[in-house]
Amino acid sequence: MDAVNIKDLVFSYDEQHDTIKGISFVIPKGSYTTIIGHNGSGKSTIAKLMIGLLEAKSGTIEILGQKLDESTVYSIRDHVGIVFQNPDNQFIGSTVADDIAFGLENHCVPQEKMQAIIEESAAKVNMINYLDSEPTKLSGGQKQRVAIAGILAIEPEIIIFDESTSMLDPQGKKSINEQIKKLHEKKNVTIISITHDMEEVAQSEHVIVLKDGKVAMSGKPMEIFDKEEALHEMKLDIPFALKFSKELKKEGIFDKNECTLEGVVEALCQLKQMN
Ligand SMILES: Nc1ncnc2c1ncn2[C@@H]1O[C@H](COP(=O)(O)OP(=O)(O)O)[C@@H](O)[C@H]1O
Ligand SMILES: [Mg+2]
């Protein structure tokens, strides 16, 4: 079964100009997909369409085999969690702990299990010391961490992250990416991550590239990174490690394309041993 199956989706904010211009794609259940694209390409709009916050002009969206419409939208939302791009306006609780608890209550988690889950998920995003803090008074990055904790606590079958680590420092980003990867690998959660972080794209299994409301290309990360020029035209970049390994290749030092720093280091170590 597919986690998401979108066919010929068209959406317009103003009836005159289409923001989503006939998009089709499939996201298999249990996969880790990243969605990339220039600012204004329609990524957040697609995310909102997928959870029924916006209504399509035409085309269909199926989530876990169920067609999204007025009668299914609430049952579908039980299975799909989203962390919005803007960390403001997504808090309901007056404290961090309350806010995470609210999501758990909505998913009928028994009261006696809540405290442990709240603490565990806050610890995963390094916010355990802020459980009594007021979410609105946190920094942007801290708000993003809390929003992520709220979703990690619920563990829905599908999670959509909309640039949800954009305000984190590099280490924070790395550690959250690791949590996401773990959730995907251990619990088979379908991850859909809208991101500008090419290191994260490299760790995903499938990439969808949006350009001006359409799918410009899709494929495995390496297939996408191969089209460096096309990406460049869309104001997108390739991971630093891949750039580095390509430069080494030009110098004749290297004959592989590696897109993680670990991969480059390992290959260089092997090379050193051979000489
Ligand atoms: N609420 C809205 N009303 C009208 N236009 C909008 C609204 N939200 C987004 N848009 C427009 O839709 C386009 C796609 O936006 P968005 O999906 O947010 O892009 P992305 O997330 O890829 O940066 C942009 O041109 C943006 O200006
Ligand atoms: Mg966006």
Domain ranges for the chain: 2-235, 239-275
In 3D space, the residue among 171, 173, 230, 167 whose CA is nearest the CA of residue 198 turns out to be 173
Mention every residue, 6+ apart, whose C-beta is less than 8 A from residue 256: 245, 249, 263, 267
Ligand 1 nearest atom to the CA of residue 41, by list position: 22
Nearest 5°: phi and psi at 156? -70, 165
Atom in ligand 1 nearest the alpha carbon of residue 13: 4
Tell me if 124 CB under 6 Å of ligand 1: no
Q: Any idea what the Cα angle at residue 266 is, between residues 261 and 269, rounded to 5°?
A: 125
SS3 188: coil
**How far is residue 185's CA from residue 31's CA, in Å, rounded to a whole number?**
9
Residue 89: pLDDT over 80 = no
Residue pair 160/76 in contact (Cβ under 8 Å)? The answer is: no
Average pLDDT, the chain: 93
Is 44 close to ligand 1, i.e. is its CB under 6 Å away? yes
Taking the CA of 19 as reference, the closest ligand is 1
Task: Tell the CATH superfamily of the 2-235 domain.
Answer: P-loop containing nucleotide triphosphate hydrolases (3.40.50.300)
Q: So what's the pLDDT on residue 214?
A: 98
Taking the CA of residue 45 as reference, the ligand 1 atom at the shortest distance is 17
The pLDDT value recorded for residue 224 is 96
pTM of the model as a whole = 0.93
Nearest Cα residue to atom 8 of ligand 1: 45
Query: Which residues, at least 6 apart from 267, have a Cβ–Cβ distance to it below 8 Å?
Result: 245, 254, 256, 258
The conformational region for residue 237 under phi > 0 = left, psi -120 to 50 = alpha, else beta, is beta
Residue 148 has pLDDT above 80, yes or no: yes
Tokens of 61: 């969206």
Report how far ligand 2's centroid is from the alpha carbon of 42 (Å).
7
Distance 239 CA to ligand 2 centre (A): 20
Q: How remote is the CA of residue 23 from the centroid of ligand 1, in Å?
A: 15
What is the position in ligand 1's atom list of the atom closest to the CA of 213?
Answer: 14
Q: Are 154 and 81 in contact (CB under 8 A)?
A: yes
Give just the sign of the alpha carbon dihedral 48, 160, 170, 118. Answer: positive
Ligand 1 within 6 A of 43 CB?
Answer: yes
pLDDT band at 93 (very low <50, low <70, confident <90, very high): confident
- In this prediction, residue 275 carries a pLDDT of 75
Residue 42 CA, ligand 1 centroid: distance in Å: 6
Distance CA(51)–CA(252), nearest Å, equals: 49
Q: How far apart are CA 145 and CA 173, in angstroms?
A: 10
Residue ranges of alpha helices (H) inside the chain are: 43-50, 73-77, 96-106, 111-124, 140-154, 170-187, 198-203, 221-225, 228-233, 240-250, 261-274
State the pLDDT at residue 222: 94
